[in-house]
Structures are given as structure tokens and as C-alpha cells.
Structure 1
Amino acid sequence: MSIEIANESGTTVDTDAVLAVARYALDEMGVNSLAELSILLVDVDYMSELNHRWMGGDGPTDVLAFPMDEGSVDHGPGEANGGEPALLGDIVLCPEVAARQAAVAGHSAADELHLLTVHGVLHLLGYDHAEPEEEREMFALQARLLDGWRASRVH
């Protein structure tokens, strides 16, 4: 699994942990080991620009996921793609927004970034939370993946 990460946010982030939680989520979801993912950490101004350009939103958001063409995603051994790497897409995180949300939620900024990373991975894999049933499914899966990853770090 190839995961590239770039921290252009100006904020100190434990990128190894962000990579680890992304890798854990992809492994648990049965994503092909040849898959490629890009994670970019950005500042508030750039996230605001991306949010406006791609989502029509005002101001910064916490995470954006830009999946590649769904036809190119290889979800595991059940789908053959000739052994070529599947480019899953890009996850863009904003540590400053994550830190604000973490303070409100009562946990660390690192925990919030881990949650947002898993959230982004699930979006790249086609999960959404537009409808109540979709939201329940996605958020339950997100919680299960985070709990599993945290438990795996303890041992």
C-alpha cells in the first residue's frame, strides 16, 4: 500500500500516526495492497479555497476527500485489475480546524485528525452520510475502525 503524506499546514502533526490509521483502515476494509493514497495537510486559507471551489462551501472545512474514478478502485482480490496499482484518491485535512473541533468535542487534536483520516478513507471507498441510514452505517464503521486501530497500538 502506497500512502504519500505532505504537511503543508504550518502545524506540527504526527504524520506517522496519520499514515498508520489510514493504512489500518484500508487494510481492514480489504483494499488491494497495491492501492495508492495521497494525504495532504493544509492551512485554513487553502482549505477555505478548496471547500469553496469543490463543495460550494464558505470557510474552511475539516476534511475533503477527492476519489478517483470509482471504476478504477480495486476493492480486493475479488476484483482483478491486472495487478496495476489502484489510485484511490486524495484526502485533504486541515489541522487547525481539527484542533478547534477537538476542543469542542473534548479530545485531542491528534484524535480528531485520526477520526478525520478514517472519515476521508471511507469517503474514498464510496461511503457517504447524506441520508440518516448512510450516516449511521458510515459513522458506526468509522468508530469500529478507530477503536480497532487504537486497540492495536496498545499491544
Structure 2
Amino acid sequence: MDLEIFDNTKDGVPAEHIDLVKNILNYAGKYIELADDTEMSVTFVNNDEIQEINKKYRGVNRATDVISFAIEDGDDDTDFPVIMDDEMAQEIPENIGDIFVSIDKVAEQAEFLDHSYERELGFLVVHGFLHLNGYDHMKPEDEAVMFPLQRKILDDYGLTR
């Protein structure tokens, strides 16, 4: 997976946490059988920045833990169709979107839930990653698919509670 990591935090994210995110997202990508050239990004932020993002895009004026922005949400863009042959289409990597993670919320929630910072960080990036890949939990039947998959990826990777 072509993964871009951006650190917009005040104090910086330690290299081992960036490596954890890269490794678990690559693991999750293989787990759900994404193409190797799939692209996405993760941006680490503090609570103040994610609150602004949440307010602007979701109309909710509070900090949250993770926000996912899927680029290709399945809508057919008929205003500007791109016409290409199958060979050309296969050469263009699929960009699935962007995830924003509040490292402040990672720390708060890890302490509240009494598990490691690494487990919470892994949970949030996998959760956001699954949203980018079309998984959701708004309906009970969707939750029954997404949550067990998320738990299985984390457990198999070794980030258990």
C-alpha cells in the first residue's frame, strides 16, 4: 500500500507509533485483499484541529477520535467521465482516502479503557481504514460485519485488549 503519513501535532508522533500505523494498515490491507498499489493517507492531529475538522465537515463542534474521508465513495461522476481502456485503468492506483486521528483522544481513550496507547492507536486507524473501504456501523447488520472484522484484524496482528 502507498501510505502517506502526516504529523500536524504540536509535540510530534514518535517514530515507533508511525511504524505501528504503517505496519497495521499494510496488514489490514492484505487482510481484506486490497491491491498493493492502493493509496491513502493518515494525518495525526491534536484535539483542537480535529474539532475544527469535525465542525466544518460534520457540523459537530467537539473533538473526536478519528475521521475518515473516502475519496471514491461509489458515486458515479457523470459530469466529467474519464474514458480510458482497461489497460490504462489498471495502471492507475486507487486512492481510497484520508484518515485524521487525534493523538490526544488516543491517549484519553487508552487510559479510560485501560489498555495500551498502541492498542487504541491501532484500533482507531483500522476503524478509519475500514470506513474508507466501505464498511460502516450505522445499522446493526453493518455493525455485525465491521466490528468483528476490526477485532479480528487487531487480534491477529497482536494488538489485543
Give the alignment's TM-score, normalised by structure 2.
0.84
1:115 maps to which of 106, 123, 133: 123
Give the whole-Å Cα distance in 1 for the aligned partners of 2:55 and 2:9. Answer: 18
Give the whole-Å Cα distance in 1 for the aligned partners of 2:99 and 2:47. Answer: 15
Give the whole-Å Cα distance in 1 for the aligned partners of 2:105 and 2:27. Answer: 24
Counting only pairs closer than 5 Å after superposition, residues 1-155 of structure 1 correspond to structure 2 as: 1-11=1-11, 12-13=13-14, 14-71=17-74, 81-150=89-158
User: Could you say what the CA RMSD is over the residues aligned between the two structures, in angstroms?
Assistant: 1.8
Which structure has the larger Rg over C-alpha atoms? Answer: 2
Deviation, 1:88, is 0.8
**Which amino acid is 1:57 matched to?**
V
Q: Which runs of 5+ in 2 are unaligned?
A: 76-85
Q: Which runs of 5+ in 1 are unaligned?
A: 73-78
Secondary structure of the corresponding residue to residue 90 of structure 2: coil
Please identify runs of 4+ aligned residues in structure 1 that moved more than 4 A.
none
Give the whole-Å Cα distance in 1 for the aligned partners of 2:91 and 2:74. Answer: 15
Give the alignment's TM-score, normalised by structure 1.
0.87
Question: Number of residue pairs matched?
Answer: 145
- Aligned identity (percent) is 34
* Alignment check: 8 A CA contact 1:25 1:145 kept: yes
Give the whole-Å Cα distance in 2 for the aligned partners of 1:10 and 1:28. Answer: 33
Give the whole-Å Cα distance in 1 for the aligned partners of 2:74 and 2:148. Answer: 26
Deviation, 1:71, is 4.2
Cα displacement string for residues 77-106 of structure 1 (whole angstroms, at most 9, x for unaligned residues): xx9842211111001100101111111111
| Segment drifting more, 59-68 vs 5-14 | 5-14
Aligned partner of 2:80 in structure 1 is none
**Which amino acid is 2:9 matched to?**
S
Aligned partner of 2:81 in structure 1 is none
